[in-house]
Structure 1
Amino acid sequence: MTGIIKGTGACVPRNTLDNRELEKLVETSDKWIQERTGIQRRHIAAKDTAASMAAKAAKEALAQAKLKPEQMDMILVSTMSSEEVMPSMACRVQDEIGAFRAVCLDLNAACSGFIMAYATACAYIEAGLFQNILVIGSECLSNVTDWSDRGTCILFGDGAGAVVVTAAHGRGTIPVLGSDGTKGEALTLKNRKNQTPFSGPLTKEDLSPCYIRMDGQTVFKFAARKVPEAIEEVLLKNKLRKGDIKYYVLHQANKRIVEAVAKRIGEPAYKFPMNIQEYGNTSSASIPILLWEMQKQNMLHPGDNLVLAGFGGGLTWGAVIITWR
Structure 2
Amino acid sequence: MEHSAQDGGGGTGQHAWGTGTDQRTVDLRVQEYYAGRTGWDEHARLTTGTAQGPVEHIRTQELIRQRLGPGARVLDVGGATGVHAAPLADDGYDVLLVDPVAGQVARAGAHGTFEARVGDARDLSAEGLDLGDDEFDAALLLGPLYHLATREDRLLALREAVRVTRPGGTVAAAAITRLAALVGGGYELFGPPAWQAVLEHGVAPDDIAFPAAHFHDAAELAAEATEAGLADVVVHGVEGPAGGALERVALDAPEASGLIDAALTLARALSTTPGVPDMSQHILAIGTVAP
Q: What is the TM-score of this pair, normalised by structure 2?
A: 0.32
Structure that is richer in strand per residue: 1
Bigger Rg, structure 1 or 2 = 1
